[in-house]
Amino acid sequence: MNYKKLINELDKSKIPRHIAIIMDGNGRWAKKHKTKRINGHKEGVKAVRRIVETAVEAGVEYLTIYAFSTENWGRTKTEVSYLLKLIMDSLVKEIDELIKNNVNIRFIGSREKLDESYNKRVMETCKKSWKNTGLHLNVAMNYGGRKELLDAFNEILADARSGSKLDGEITEKIVSDYLYTAGMPEVDLVIRTSGEERLSNFLIWQSAYAEFWFTQTLWPDFSREEFIRAMLDFQQRKRRFGTR
């Protein structure tokens, strides 16, 4: 079915506010097509483009995509440097179009291990979009859920020691406010492609009550239609949050 028709089937009052996507399977896509892994990543960028556009059309408020994990440093030097460059180049290439679509984009993750010049360039490029009021697109770059929590705890500790704020006990609200996603709604729906069914250290705090949706489709093949089907499926779920 044409994806525009499918979008009309969505209940507009029940669009997941925050969708998180673990974009997996670029390497296997490349293998299947008898080409280099890097070509799988390149093809994966095209999928990002269509999924972001579709999220805008569907009226999703927050979309967080897993681009590079704190564990991905363990890949070969060639693949790591290719990925870092591809992510930066894609941001620079797409920023004008994203701005035109009223997208507000930010990178979330640790700044450690990345060059200061890299972080600066990301920040300066993203900044141009911060007045936008449409989709909030978070690119999880050098992101790890445990690292995010450790960063939060250490900042809480520092603030408590300096006595400026935080003199009572640590609450869920305080932890949430120190995460990279401070001020954003919790994750409603986690999508993972390529048949793997695990979180791989992605948004572990924010996904505590998320719905999960898995598909065998490899990330470069993930279509607008399938993305909308995941949202339609989400709309059929009965979320109970521990109540009966």
Which positions are annotated as active-site residues?
24, 72
Between 88 and 107, how does the x/- string for binding to ligand IPE read (CB under 6 A)? --------------------
Q: Where are the alpha helices (DSSP H) in 101-223?
A: 116-127, 145-162, 172-178
Q: Cβ 64 to ligand IPE, closest distance in Å?
A: 11
Residue among 147, 148, 144, 103 nearest 125 (CA): 103
Minimum CB distance to ligand IPE smaller for 7 or for 65: 65
Minimum CB distance to Mg ion smaller for 24 or for 43: 24
3-state secondary structure of 64: strand
Q: Could you tell me the two tokens for 120?
A: 């600066």
- Per the CB < 8 A criterion, the answer to whether 41 and 89 are in contact is no
Q: Cβ 107 to ligand IPE, closest distance in Å?
A: 13
Minimum CB distance to Mg ion smaller for 24 or for 148: 24
Task: Specify the residue for token string 């930010």.
Answer: 106
Binding of ligand IPE at residue 3 (CB under 6 A)? no
Of 4-12, 102-110, 122-130, 191-199, the segment contacting ligand IPE by CB under 6 A is: 191-199
Helix (H) or strand (E) holding 137: strand 136-143
Residue among 104, 111, 93 nearest 128 (CA): 104
Q: Which residues contact 138 (CB under 8 A, 6 or more apart)?
A: 62, 63, 64, 65, 105, 106, 107, 108, 180, 181, 184
Interacting residue with ligand IPE among 39, 119, 132, 200 (CB under 6 A): 200
Minimum CB distance to ligand IPE smaller for 10 or for 48: 48
Interacting residue with ligand IPE among 54, 70, 72, 138 (CB under 6 A): 72
Interacting residue with Mg ion among 22, 24, 144, 218 (CB under 5 A): 24
* Binding region for ligand IPE (CB under 6 A): 22-28, 66-69, 72, 83, 194, 196, 198, 200, 219
